[in-house]
Structure 1
């Protein structure tokens, strides 16, 4: 099937495609133009290195950049470089992050500019298609190059280090590619692991932010909330794009269920939802744009210039843009997750739901009381992860490398924050669906009814006191389903909705 094959060309890889290659059973192919770009850059890199010093090819690296590599030592120099840099530590990165790293590096090489032998592209493609995983420890990068991760990968390609065994315990053989010593620095001089994790985190974040709008609409319906805060007039008066997008989506979700509001004004969790969730959508969108630019860039140092037949020593390896964008996204995520926790509080309150406290089956029962604790525990972690990684600093390699943006740590914090957000949002979904079940109400049609039906199909209907951990886990795992449902709403649906007077019932 065509949709199970993704072609890498060095120019058009998306964060979503990185996620598919990392997590799904797809075949990776290489566009011939990407191979041609890599082949030309490799040829020119060799020619230029014969005429002038080229960092990492004819010199040492870091503070050793002033040391020339003698021609008789050139073959051993690159291998020593790989061995010395394959020194990460700590637990291993998750398999999907490692596959994302390999995907990004493959695409970067296809962009041209590295000067690595073009055979490396086929080797990395084989690694992905064979399901091979190099051992990549968590610790070793600070946003200026994933040297330890890619050095470990290179040693696996050379046969010096073993690929990780399969889940069945079988040891796998690699593609048998021999990386030239002169290409060693060019191969590992990349932020592919950081960008791979960032691409996964950005994709997951956008999915959950979309699902959050659906969950918020279910909660609003359950507490007989007012639609007035989502009026087009309100958001034309404050025309932030993200805010307007959230309000329009809420209007679409609620189009079949105009209900008389129970209050003249709802709490901020409902009334200010567009103003708080909108910035998160915009921040996530900006982060994804930044990451997409980076994974399709020839961000190499030195950069092989095939047009002018030269090399440029530069700082494109520095991923300050990525780290700062993800730092901003996590801050915005905390703000909107705080509203989710606030909405959960209203779903436990009789004055909002018309039910017993905590949606309990009896007056003495605890019902969903514990969900608030779980949600606020997850929220506390998101607040902790929201600390900007960019506030750090480092001076390394005898003072030559005198700055670090810590985008690696920002990407990791974003992954962790997204995981915690998933749990908190799952708690709200459990509470909203339970409230509607106890009220004996369901949305009457359109995408909100579809969302309720999807959620109700996998959430346990029992109301007596019982462990809710399985409910939270199931709800959290199925949030992407609600996101896909939202993205399947036909264009123009909102304009075609049934008419109803404000405050009336559809």
Structure 2
């Protein structure tokens, strides 16, 4: 599905939603004149600088070869040698949406005006995005200090040395200046793009989690006082306060009185445990807003408006992705705890003492298993979330003859986040099937109001092509709720909890 309205890149205002539109839904891309002006000025400054002083990667080698001076006679081939030597990625090929996310992030960063790369590079990336072709990029090669292999493979594709994938309408090959190679690959654009996709998925799932928890709450006649505003004013962590307010909004006035003076932690402590995940996603969004629009190339080429004599090249370490890697690590860990609560609530939904229904929400003849197996499946998926929650940033690598002695492993953290969210989505899907079934068996129609509320205002957003609240009118009770949530819980991984079996488990014995 291609969205008609373009995403306009200016090097200063790219958002995660923009990245998702381009990467997943192939929205067209346009370049703002201000960004192009910064790109042009930075490139011209780089051309003036190399005739006055040594500039890392342009007139020298890279890494531990930083002191090796490249003769002026060798400049013509220097950039090409660098790309060929660094295009050493390993493993399988990354999916199209992740590579497109890398491309749009890198293109936007070039417009921030610090790379000193020739405008033809931006033109070629733009043409590739708009024609839906992309370079083949291998999975392994980054350690959180620059996505060197992925971007070197991209550079060789721009030159015509490697094949484009996707559309056959490919950009014409370009030529690179000696300094363009390092200027292109000095970025974490792949990691940042993948993190943007992960943030979007997490953002949707965190919202959906509140809706699913509210459905389970109604199915077990929970005690709403645990979400009272006065409780959370006494300990006002932002995420906790927001989650409690959302639960009050979704539940409203419960149709039945509370069945217990105190509920299990899956209900009573939901704001306190889900809140940190909401805060982690908020912090990740803040980091991404910086990274999407960063001029972080090493060296940073600054074209001063006061004249050529004020051009400068700054050698620095802004390519290190500690902020991003640790923000992603925190998100995965916090969502694990949210996942624990989902399986805990699922356990109450199959328990007659909480629902007043038969064990495992069974119907029909005695001994029917109902949704018994959902607990096994949910805990199996949660085990994957738990495994992937280990911080990638606890690792380290010392490379390039000891010159680069710290690594953030942000790429690994972003990759783990996408895999973890895939499994987390399945955990939540198991809970919503049981909650919907319990509400239906109890003849409770409050679930539809909860989900309708979840799709309004701050609630769950429908993904393009998967139907929001207007896509299908409610059909009464929890079954309408299942239809509305299904798109959120299955849209990124179709077939994993397919529509037919999703509905069938909500209806059948």
Q: Scaled by the length of structure 1, what TM-score is found?
A: 0.89
Q: By how many angstroms is 1:141 displaced?
A: 0.3
Aligned to 2:108: 107
CA apart distance, 1:304: 0.7
Q: Give the structure 2 partner of residue 360 of structure 1.
A: 362
Of the three residues 220, 223, 232, the one matched with 2:220 is: 223
Q: 1:228 & 1:42 partners in 2: Cα distance?
A: 61
Per-residue CA deviations over 1:440-461 (Å, capped at 9, x if unaligned) read 111187444566464344799x
Provide, for residues 443-497 of structure 1, a one-character-per-residue CA deviation record: whole Å limited to 9, x for no partner. Answer: 187444566464344799xxxxxxxx9793439999xxxxxxxxxxxxxxxxxxx
The Cα of 1:301 is off from its aligned counterpart by 0.3
The answer to whether the 8 Å contact 1:326/1:410 transfers is yes
Alignment of 1:183-202 (within 5 A): 183-202=180-199
SS of residue in 1 equivalent to 2:164 = coil
CA RMSD of aligned residues (A): 2.1
2:319 is matched with 317
Is residue 167 of structure 2 the alignment partner of residue 141 of structure 1?
no
For the pair 1:437 / 2:440, whether they are aligned, the reply is yes
CA deviation vs aligned residue, 1:240-299 (integer Å, no higher than 9, x gap): 110010000000001153420111111000000000000000011101110121111101
**Quick one: which of 329, 332, 357 aligns to 1:330?**
332
Residue 376 of structure 1: how far off its partner (Å): 0.6
**CA-CA distance at 1:389 after TM superposition:** 0.7
Pick aligned residue for 2:497 from 472, 476, 482? 472
- Please say if 1:211 is aligned against 2:208: yes
Do residues 56 (structure 1) and 31 (structure 2) align? no
Residues 459 and 295 from structure 1, CA distance in 2 versus in 1: closer, same or farther, beyond 3 angstroms? closer
Partners of 1:143 and 1:319 within 8 A in 2: yes
Aligned residue number for residue 29 of structure 1: 30
Aligned to 2:92: 91
Q: CA deviation at 1:306?
A: 1.6
Residue correspondence of structure 1 range 402-421 to structure 2 within 5 A: 402-421=405-424
Indicate conservation of the 8 Å contact 2:436/2:447, yes or no.
no
Structure 2 equivalent of residue 390 of structure 1: 393
Q: Is the 8 A contact 2:145 2:319 kept in 1?
A: yes
Any conservation in 1 of the 2:436–2:479 contact (CA below 8 Å)?
Answer: no
Give CA-to-partner distance per residue, 1:177-227, whole Å, 9 cap, x none.
322232111111110001000111011101100000000000000111110
**Residue number among 374, 377, 380 corresponding to 2:377 in the alignment:** 374
How many residues are matched?
466
Q: Aligned in 2, Cα 1:449/1:20: closer, same or farther, shift over 3 Å?
A: closer
Aligned to 1:487: none
The residue number in structure 2 matching 1:159 is 160
- Aligned equivalents of 2:140, 2:148: Cα separation in 1: 11
Matched residue, 2:475: none
1:156–1:174 CA contact under 8 A, matched in 2: no
Counterpart check, 1:273 vs 2:275: no
| Structure 2 portions without partners, runs of 5+ | 305-309, 455-477, 487-493, 504-509
Secondary structure at 2:101 match in 1: helix
Query: How far does the alpha carbon of each residue in 1:17-60 deviate from its partner, in whole angstroms, 9 at most, with x for none?
Result: 10111001311000010000000000001111110000000000
User: 2:185, 2:501 → 1: CA distance?
Assistant: 37
Q: Measure, in 2, the Cα distance between the counterparts of 1:414 and 1:459.
A: 22
Q: Is 1:125 the equivalent of 2:126?
A: yes
**1:66 aligned counterpart, secondary structure:** coil
Question: Match of 2:144, SS?
Answer: coil
Separation in 2 of the partners of 1:172 and 1:47?
36
- TM-aligned CA distance change 1:128 to 1:319, over 3 Å: same
Whether the aligned pair in 2 keeps the contact of 1:18 and 1:100 (CA below 8 Å) is yes
Distance verdict in 2 for CA 1:21–1:92, change over 3 Å: same
Alpha-carbon contact 1:455-1:475 (below 8 Å) kept = no
2: CA distance between counterparts of 1:470 and 1:406?
31
Structure-2 residue corresponding to 1:180: 177
- Is contact 2:208–2:485 with CA below 8 Å preserved after alignment? no
Deviations 1:48-79 (A, max 9, x none): 11100000000001111110011111111110
Change (3 A) 1:449 1:5: closer
Q: Identify the residue that residue 78 of structure 1 maps to in structure 2.
A: 79
Unpaired runs of 5+ residues, structure 1, are 461-468, 479-506
- Relative to structure 1, the CA distance from residue 477 to residue 18 in structure 2 (aligned partners, 3 Å threshold; closer, same or farther) is farther
Distance of 2:158 and 2:181 partners within structure 1 = 12
- Residues 1:386 and 1:65: Cα distance change in structure 2 (over 3 Å): same
SS at match of 1:245: helix
Kept in 1, the 8 Å contact 2:433–2:482? The answer is no
SS at match of 1:133: strand
Residues 427, 475 of structure 1: 8 Å contact kept:
no
Contact 1:142 1:407 (8 Å CA) reproduced: yes
- In the alignment, the residues of structure 2 paired with residue 244 and residue 404 of structure 1 have an alpha-carbon distance, to the nearest angstrom, of 36
SS in 1 for 2:263: coil
TM-score normalised by the chain length of structure 2: 0.88
Distance 1:67 1:471, change over 3 A: closer
What is the match of residue 283 of structure 1? 280
Deviation at 1:123, TM superposition (A): 1.2
Which residue of 230, 251, 254 maps to 1:254? 251
**Structure 1 residues 438-447 or 103-112, which shifts more?**
438-447
1:101-137 CA distance string (max 9 Å, x none): 0010001000010000012212111111000110101
